Amino acid sequence: MQLFNFSLKLNGFDITKAKSALQNIQILNNDEFKVYLKTKRREIVSFHTENNKFYKSFSKTANINNWESLPVMTKRHLQQPLEQRLSDGYTANSVYVNKTSGSSGDPFIFAKDKWCHALTWAEIMNRFGWFGIDFNTSKQARFYGIPLDKKGYYKERLKDWFSHRYRFSVFDLSDNAFKNVLAKFQSTSFDYINGYTSSIVQFAKFLKRKDIVLKTVCPTLKVCIVTSEMLFDNDKTLLETQFGLPIVNEYGASELDLIAFQNTEDQWQVNSETLYVEILDDNDNILPYGQEGRIVITSLYNKAHPFIRYDIGDIGILDENSTLKKPILKQLIGRTNDIAHLPSGKTAAGLTFYYITKSVIENDGNVSEFVIEQLQLDVFKITYVSKTKLLLSEEETIRKAMVQYLEPGISITFDRVAKLDRSKSGKLKQFTSFIN
């Protein structure tokens, strides 16, 4: 029995119809796809202009025939009661309702109509299928957070059962916890791993310390798919080595859909079937392929709630070889609210600090995890977990690297802790600035 498909249909998501619709989009040639995209963009704007009071007011100065005149919306525009943002004919009881994680600092509740959400699942299942994963039959080792309240906890456990997956805690990353994780892999025929990057990387480091390749103890494994947090090149190499598996990078947003998924050619292929992705500069001008800017996304099917030219809060680059039908995400640089402002007036992506420090701090395997916080314009704090405290000489090496790559006049403090605090969802925010 196809339990996963059954659970979707039970909740009103017609996955069979959605899969068929997705397939019909994918078989379009380039010219047909161009017409399809233009039509869907116009349809979704027309619908919300006519049926959504929030969007009608938000876009009142826009020209529906001029795409670039449509205003760009942000998460802060959506931080008002959901009822005020729903389209006519939709209620909170007739749609899929969820909330963003808040990792961007701007959490909000959102809605999708059931057809849109069915297409979301069709897209996800299609991409995972590239690597031989079938949600109805493939057993998932899941590294995700879980609600701690009783109702939320058991609801997720029930969803796990329907979804053929076993969930590992991302809140306890100790060696004792990982011993139990390893034992579960030894006794279970898992097909794939899916979950938060930082937690999976910590498991791989544990395996490295034990000189174990996961594929040797769980030979049924096919692939590892990481999501929600940045995957650095050296961490990807570590995962490939210690798991003995292909490592696939996923980029998505709960309020939208799966945004990009690494294909079998090692390209980060953007979802062009149900989303329209643009890269804009600071003045909302569309940038050509190859240039860095803000990632702005339109949901082509969500009639319950408008996500039209929605600034997701990320910075990225579309590859020069992208096409309308097959856009390729060349680079995901980080979040717009993760920008570090330096004393000289220079700005840098916060993950630059993380990357520079990472290249120095983890060389000998002593430090297992760390995060960076900007406390003042010239003051940064590195909080880390390690076997032994960093030597003064090691701290000085990190300070010199920061100055070399960024600028002088930066003060850095270090704080060794037993474990790092994660968000309620279990995600780890690698860089945080407390500067307005």
Q: Is the model's pLDDT at 346 over the cut of 70? A: yes
Distances (CA, A) of 261 to 55, 125, 252, 315: 30, 11, 8, 17
- Residues 363/371/247/3 CA torsion (nearest 10 deg): 150
pLDDT digits (tens, 9 = 90+) for 185-206: 999 999 999 998 888 998 999 9
Per-residue model confidence (pLDDT) at position 310: 97
Distance CA 193, CA 427 (A): 16
Write down the pTM of the prediction: 0.82
Q: In the predicted model, is pLDDT for residue 277 greater than 80?
A: yes
Indicate the CATH number of 3-335 among 3.40.50.12780, 3.40.1500.10, 3.40.30.10, 2.40.128.20.
Answer: 3.40.50.12780
In the predicted model, what is the mean pLDDT of residues 239-254?
95
- Residue 405: its pLDDT value, please? 75
Q: What confidence tier does 22 reach under pLDDT thresholds 50, 70, 90? A: very high
Q: What percent of the chain has pLDDT over 70?
A: 93
> Which of 33-47, 270-284, 331-345 has the least mean pLDDT?
331-345
99-128 tens-digit pLDDT = 775 554 456 789 999 999 999 999 999 999
State in words which class domain 342-433 has: alpha beta
Confidence check: pLDDT of 149 > 70: no
- pLDDT over threshold 80, residue 42: yes
**209 to each of 179, 272, 381, how far by Cα in Å?**
12, 41, 28
Is residue 409 scored above 70 in pLDDT?
yes
Question: What does the pLDDT read at residue 413?
Answer: 93
Q: What is the mean pLDDT of residues 258-271?
A: 95
The one-letter amino acid at 78: L
Of residues 93 and 428, more confidence is placed in 93
Q: What is the phi/psi pair of residue 322, to 5°?
A: -65, 155
In the prediction, which pLDDT does 79 show? 80
pLDDT digits (tens, 9 = 90+) for 124-141: 999 999 999 999 999 999
Mean pLDDT to the nearest integer, 307-333 = 94
What's the confidence (pLDDT) of residue 370? Answer: 86
Cβ atoms of 47 and 55 closer than 8 Å: no
| Radius of gyration of the chain from its Cα atoms, rounded to whole angstroms | 22
Higher-pLDDT residue of 350, 47 = 47
Please count the residues of the chain.
436
Question: Residue 424 has what pLDDT?
Answer: 67
Whether the domain at 3-335 and the domain at 342-433 fall into the same CATH topology:
no
Sequence ranges of the domains in the chain: 3-335, 342-433
Highest average pLDDT, of 215-219, 344-348, 399-403, 404-408, comes from: 215-219
Strand order in the sheet with 268-270: 165-168, 140-143, 192-196, 223-227, 247-253, 257-262, 268-270
